[in-house]
Amino acid sequence: MLRSSRTVASLVRSLILGTAATTATAMVATTLVGCKDESQPEYWVEKLSDQAWKARAVKRLEQFFEDAVTRNGNDIKAQGVQDLVNKTVEPLTQAYVTDYDNLDTKTRVSLIKLIASYRDKRTEPALKKAFEEFAKKPATAKDESDIKWAAQAAADMKLESVAVPMVEAFTKLRASTMLGGVTYKDYADAMLDMPSKAWVGPLSARLEQEMTPPGKDKSAIDPFRDQQFWQATAAQLLGMIGDPAAVEPLMKVLLDPNKADLHPTAVLALVKLGKPTVDAASKLIAGKDEKLVAYAMQRIKEITGKPATGTPYVATAALILGTSGRADATAPLVAALSAEKDASTRAVIARELTKVPATEESKAAFKAAYESLTLETEIPPGGGALEALTEASGQFYDPGMVDWLLDRAAKAKGTGDDLKAYQAGVTVTAMKLAKADQLATVGAAVDRYGSADIEKKAFKLVEGLVKACGDRANCYVAAIQKPENQEQANQFVGMKAGYMIGILGDDAARDELVGKIDGIANAAVRFTAAQAIDHLTPKGSKEVSAKLNAIISKNAKSADRSKSAGDGPLKQVMYRIDARN
pLDDT tens digits, 170-191: 999 999 999 999 999 999 999 9
Q: What is the DSSP string of 516-573?
A: HGGG---HHHHHHHHHHHHHT-TT--HHHHHHHHHHHHHHHT-S-HHHHHTTHHHHHH
Q: In sequence order, which residues have a C-beta less than 8 Å from that of residue 234 and are 6 or more positions away?
A: 203, 204, 206, 207
- The reply to whether 463 falls in a domain is yes
Q: In this predicted model, what pLDDT tens digit does every residue of 331-359 receive, in sequence order?
A: 999 999 999 999 999 999 999 999 999 99
**Is 358 a domain residue?**
no
Under the banding of pLDDT at 50, 70 and 90, the label for residue 558 is: confident
- Residue 366 or residue 20, greater confidence: 366
Compute the average pLDDT of residues 360-381. 97
| 172 plus 49 within the same structural domain | yes
Mean of the pLDDT values across residues 56-69? 97
If asked whether residues 77 and 133 sit together in one domain, one would say: yes
Does a structural domain hold residue 112?
A: yes
- Percent residues over pLDDT 70 in the chain: 94
Is residue 177 in a domain? yes
Averaging pLDDT over each range in 50-54, 390-394, 557-561, which range is the top one? 390-394
Q: At what angle do helices 146-157 and 178-193 cross, to 10 degrees?
A: 10
Provide the pLDDT for residue 562: 79
Residues 149 and 176 in one domain: yes
Q: Are 249 and 207 in contact (CB under 8 A)?
A: yes
Is there a single domain that holds both residue 416 and residue 537?
no
Averaged over 84-113, what is the pLDDT? 97
Q: Are both 141 and 167 inside the same structural domain?
A: yes
Does one domain contain both 499 and 411?
Answer: no
Within 8 A by CB and 6+ apart from 225, the residues are 175, 176
The domain boundary residue, chosen from 468, 496, 522: 468
The CATH number for 178's domain is 1.25.10
pLDDT score at 17: 37
Distances in Å between the Cα of 337 and the Cα atoms of 367, 372, 397 are 11, 11, 21
Residue type at 388?
Answer: A
Q: Are residues 566 and 524 in the same domain?
A: yes
Residue 5 pLDDT > 70: no
Structural domain contains residue 139: yes
Residue 11 lies in a domain: no
In angstroms and rounded to an integer, the radius of gyration of the C-alpha atoms of the chain is 34
What integer pLDDT is reported at residue 22 of this predicted model? Answer: 43
Name the domain count of the chain. Answer: 3
236 belongs to a structural domain: no
pLDDT at 370 over 70: yes
Q: Whole-prediction pTM value? A: 0.89
Domain range spanning residue 103? 37-194
Residue 348 CB neighbour total at 10 angstroms: 25
Does residue 12 carry a pLDDT above 60?
Answer: no
* Mean predicted confidence (pLDDT) in 263-292: 98
Q: Is the pLDDT of residue 30 over 70?
A: no
CA distance 59 to 56: 5
Q: What value does the mean pLDDT of the chain take?
A: 94
Do 495 and 533 have their domain in common?
yes
**Distance (Å, whole) CA 476 – CA 505:** 9
Per-residue pLDDT tens for 426-448? 999 999 999 999 999 999 999 99
- Say yes or no: 476 and 458 in one domain: no
Same domain? For 189 and 110 the reply is: yes
The pLDDT value recorded for residue 581 is: 85
- For the segment 298-305, the average pLDDT, to the nearest whole number, is 96
pLDDT in tens, 473-519: 999 999 999 999 999 999 999 999 999 999 999 999 999 999 999 99
Q: How far apart are CA 108 and CA 102, in angstroms?
A: 9
Q: Are residues 507 and 460 in the same domain?
A: no
Q: How confident is the model at residue 564 (pLDDT cuts 50, 70, 90)?
A: confident
Residue 577 lies in a domain: yes
Q: Which of 468, 484, 507 is the last residue of a domain?
A: 468
User: Which of 444, 468, 492 represents a domain boundary (last residue)?
Assistant: 468
Q: What is the pLDDT of residue 520?
A: 96
Question: Lowest mean pLDDT: which of 196-200, 525-529, 560-564?
Answer: 560-564
pLDDT value of residue 13: 41
State mean pLDDT over 314-333.
98
> What's the pLDDT score for residue 569?
92
Task: Supply the pLDDT for residue 35.
Answer: 54
Q: Is 125 exposed, middle or buried (0-12, 13-18, 19+ CB in 10 A)?
A: middle
Question: Are 464 and 476 within one domain?
Answer: no
For the four alpha carbons of 158, 160, 162 and 167, in that order, the dihedral sign comes to: positive
